[in-house]
């Protein structure tokens, strides 16, 4: 039974590492800052969460050690990485970084134009 659990936890950690490598390839291969931000936040977060979850479960099941630090690390990555990616993409959009030419829809265009108008009216 313990061998099966060790193998399953190894697979979870390995799956996290594979997802992290795919995320790194996405950072290299994708065309613009918005797509790269997506690759960095979504898949890298998932990869790190798989790795940390596998390590947490290993220590809990086999070492009988409940690691609050690992749980806090999992929670921290889960909460902060997507928020940071969103803020980076929004900052890039507001600073005028162009979308990739193959982008189909600009969902923030109207909102950004309205914010600019409101800012100009306040400055007058």
67-84: pLDDT as tens digits: 999 999 999 999 999 899
Question: How many domains, the chain?
Answer: 1
User: What does the mean pLDDT of the chain come to?
Assistant: 88
Which stretches of the chain are DSSP H helices? 2-29, 33-38, 44-62, 68-94, 109-123
Helix (H, G, I), strand (E, B) or coil at 87: helix
* Cα–Cα dist 112/19, whole Å: 33
* pLDDT of 37: 87
Question: Other C-beta atoms within 10 Å of 124: how many?
Answer: 4
Calculate mean pLDDT across residues 54-68.
Answer: 93
Per the structure, the complete domain to which residue 39 belongs is given by 2-98
11-20, 82-91, 106-115: which range is least confident on average? 106-115
pLDDT at 103 over 80: no
Confidence band of 92 (pLDDT split at 50, 70, 90)? confident
pTM of the predicted protein model: 0.78
- Looking at residue 101, what is its pLDDT? 83
Averaged over 55-64, what is the pLDDT?
93
Q: What angle do CA 5, 15, 38 make, to 5 degrees?
A: 145
Position 122 in a domain: no
- Residue-level pLDDT at 48: 92
Q: What pLDDT is stored for residue 113 in this prediction?
A: 78
Place of tokens 């800012």: 119
Q: Is residue 21 included in any domain, yes or no?
A: yes
Q: Could you tell me if residue 103 is inside a domain?
A: no
Burial of 41 (0-12, 13-18, 19+ CB in 10 A): buried
**pLDDT band of 122, cuts 50, 70, 90:** confident
């Amino acid at each position: 039974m313990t061998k099966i659990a060790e193998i399953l936890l190894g697979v979870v950690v390995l799956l996290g590492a594979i997802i992290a490598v795919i995320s790194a390839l996405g950072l290299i291969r994708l065309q613009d800052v918005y797509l790269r931000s997506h690759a960095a936040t979504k898949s890298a977060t998932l990869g790190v969460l798989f790795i940390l979850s596998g390590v947490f479960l290993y220590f809990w099941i086999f070492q009988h050690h409940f690691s609050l630090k690992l749980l806090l690390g999992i929670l921290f990555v889960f909460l902060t990485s997507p928020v940071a990616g969103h803020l980076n993409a929004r900052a890039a959009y507001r600073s005028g970084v162009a979308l990739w030419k193959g982008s189909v829809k600009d969902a923030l265009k109207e909102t950004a134009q309205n914010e600019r108008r409101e800012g100009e009216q306040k400055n007058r």
